[in-house]
Amino acid sequence: MTGGAGYIGSHVVRQLGEAGHEVVVYDNLSTGYRWAVLSGTLVEGDLADGARLDALFETHRFDAVLHFAASIVVSESLAEPLKYYGNNTRNTLTLLERVRRFGVPHFVFSSTAAVYGMTDLPLVDETVPLAPANPYGASKMMSERMLMDLGLADGPSYVVLRYFNVAGADSEARIGQSTPEATSLIKVACEAALGRRECLPIFGTDYPTPDGTCIRDFIHVEDLARAHLDALAHLAAGGSSEVLNCGYGRGYSVREVADSVRRVGGIDYRVDEVPRRPGDLPVMVADNTRIREVLGWTPAYDDLDRIVADALRWERNSPAQ
Q: Which residues of 182-192 are buried (b: 16+ CB within 10 A; e: fewer)?
A: bebbbbbbbbb
CA 70, CA 93: separation in Å to the nearest integer?
A: 13
**Nearest alpha-carbon partner for 98 in 67, 137, 130, 140:** 67
Cα 64 to Cα 74, 234, 291: the distances in Å are 29, 12, 20
Element (H, E) at 210: none
**Nearest alpha-carbon partner for 164 in 13, 320, 2, 307:** 307
DSSP 115-155: GT-S---SSB-TTSPP--SSHHHHHHHHHHHHHHHHHHTT-
Give, to the nearest 10 degrees, the angle between helix 254-265 and helix 304-317.
Answer: 60
**Residues 25/41, Cβ–Cβ less than 8 Å:** yes
Give residue 297's Cα distance to chain centre: 17
Number of CB atoms found within 10 A of residue 223's CB: 21
Active site residues: 136
